[in-house]
Structure 1
Amino acid sequence: MSDSARHVALSAAMERMAPPGIRLGCRLIREGDEALLLPEEASALRARRPAARRASGAARALARHLLKNEGMADAIIGRSATGAPLWPPGVIGSLAHDDEMAVAAIARAADVPSVGIDVEPADPLPDDITALVFHDGDAVGGVEPMLSGRTLFSAKEAVYKAVHPLDGEILGYEHIRVDFARGRAVTTTGHGIRLFFCLHPRVVVLAVSTEDQPSSIL
């Protein structure tokens, strides 16, 4: 599959999985994408490796495109002391990338408490990492068995991104329980999360914080 075809396929898959009120997008990371960083962004990312700056440039350019479509042009997306993106007032969002693809999610803060997104190659997760990620209470039924570990890893990364801005708590994999069949996750810190995901051509998981009380899957 060509780069263009992979981008089109993932974009379509993400459009299908996006819930109302949340805008998603993807962008192939290309040579020179670090030049897409605005001066304020480039300054905050100066200490990072070239590949990381390139991926950050792709992700921020993508997020700016999504924001422009919502009437917010030329938005600066800074970087907090913890490394999280800093969004314009009234906006919440999340960025992620793997070696080849950047993804972004944005929403109005008045509509959604918080979101987190993650992207991974659609390859099996190594067994030693799966052992670190999987804990009692995780339910991976409903996901292709070969990709269950990878999707679980991606889901917990996305959940952490969604809940950390809400309370500043540092969570490990053992603090998050996932149920793919129900499209839900909960944390030991009391947050309920809705999950939306696709598996091909890449694994992408979107975590959306809710006002619901956590369920009993913990």
Structure 2
Amino acid sequence: MSDLDHTAALMLASPLLRGKVALASANPTGRYDAYPEEAEALKNAVDKRLRAFSAGRAAARLALKELGAPAIAIPMGEDRAPIWPPMLVGSITHTDTACLAAVGWEGEIRLLGLDLEPDQPLDDDLLPTICTEAERQWLAEQENPGQSAKLIFSIKECVYKAQYRLSQTLFDFDTLEIAVDLENQSFVAHFRQDVAPFASGDAISGRYAIGHGLIVTTVMELV
């Protein structure tokens, strides 16, 4: 991993979110100033958390500028989710060495999700928590099951972020079941139970990319 990971992350994610979405990156190993409304949520944060949060907000403001929106504060809600300005939809993600943010107009984008993870195997002891039985069966057939499990984890994080603005509901990993299309680097996530406004069986599709030691997963559904 290097201090150029944020650039690599942007290169990976950009082809996945072309069109209605503005995308930007920032380096969480650097220093950025959080706006006062944002800093309120970080009064007791350790330096690493403060850097990641501030870099994520800096990336978001770069994306807002690219979209033609004002670069204003993006506070953190009580649920720890970003509070986006009215009429905007967004998603922020980070690792220790890279931050990405994507934004779009609410009238054009229904769902927007973004997740970034190090391309490292998922710990075996997390598999029962993260993956359903069907997913574990699929993993057993993969050449690198640990990496594939990390991909499923990232997809579920991405889909959760995308759907949360509509459902405002917390749920466990097994609420979603993922089908991965390795050839097309895409996926479909099915709800295994009702999470209003989503019903059991509803699907959310997305795309992913792996490279430079990173996994990027994305959801973009137009209105």
Query: Which band: TM-score by shorter chain?
Result: 0.7 to 0.9
Query: Is structure 2 residue 66 aligned with structure 1 residue 69?
Result: yes
Please point out which of 117, 124, 143 is paired with 2:121.
Answer: 124
Of stretches 43-52 and 133-142 in structure 1, the one that deviates more from structure 2 is: 133-142
Identify the residue that residue 180 of structure 1 maps to in structure 2: 180
User: Are the structure 2 counterparts of residues 59 and 30 from structure 1 closer, same or farther at C-alpha, using a change threshold of 3 Å?
Assistant: same
User: Are the structure 2 counterparts of residues 137 and 2 from structure 1 closer, same or farther at C-alpha, using a change threshold of 3 Å?
Assistant: closer
Identify the residue that residue 204 of structure 1 maps to in structure 2: 216
In structure 1, what is the Cα distance between the partners aligned to 2:162 and 2:3? 29
- Are the equivalent residues in 2 in contact too, given 1:78–1:85 (CA < 8 A)? yes
- Runs of at least 5 residues in structure 1 that lack an aligned partner in the other structure: 212-218
User: Are the structure 2 counterparts of residues 10 and 144 from structure 1 closer, same or farther at C-alpha, using a change threshold of 3 Å?
Assistant: farther
Query: Is structure 2 residue 113 aligned with structure 1 residue 111?
Result: no
Q: 3-state DSSP class of the match of 2:164?
A: helix
Residues 72-87 of structure 1: pairs in structure 2 closer than 5 A: 72-87=69-84
User: Are the structure 2 counterparts of residues 82 and 209 from structure 1 closer, same or farther at C-alpha, using a change threshold of 3 Å?
Assistant: farther
Identify the residue that residue 215 of structure 1 maps to in structure 2: none
Deviation at 1:27, TM superposition (A): 2.0
Aligned amino acid, residue 75 of structure 2: G
In structure 2, what is the Cα distance between the partners aligned to 1:121 and 1:180? 19
- Are the equivalent residues in 2 in contact too, given 1:112–1:208 (CA < 8 A)? yes
Kindly report the root-mean-square deviation, in angstroms, between the aligned alpha carbons of the 2 structures.
Answer: 2.3
- Are the equivalent residues in 2 in contact too, given 1:163–1:209 (CA < 8 A)? no
Query: Is structure 2 residue 30 aligned with structure 1 residue 28?
Result: no
- Are the equivalent residues in 2 in contact too, given 1:142–1:180 (CA < 8 A)? no
Equivalenced residue count is: 208
TM-score (normalised: structure 2): 0.83
- Are the equivalent residues in 1 in contact too, given 2:111–2:163 (CA < 8 A)? yes
- Runs of at least 5 residues in structure 2 that lack an aligned partner in the other structure: none
In structure 2, what is the Cα distance between the partners aligned to 1:94 and 1:15? 14
User: Are the structure 2 counterparts of residues 143 and 153 from structure 1 closer, same or farther at C-alpha, using a change threshold of 3 Å?
Assistant: farther
Q: Which has the higher contact order (CA 8 A, sep 6+)?
A: 2
In structure 2, what is the Cα distance between the partners aligned to 1:16 and 1:175? 29
Deviation at 1:193, TM superposition (A): 1.2
In structure 2, what is the Cα distance between the partners aligned to 1:126 and 1:91? 36
User: Are the structure 2 counterparts of residues 106 and 67 from structure 1 closer, same or farther at C-alpha, using a change threshold of 3 Å?
Assistant: same
Percent of aligned pairs sharing the same letter:
27
TM-score (normalised: structure 1): 0.85
Q: 3-state DSSP class of the match of 1:113?
A: strand
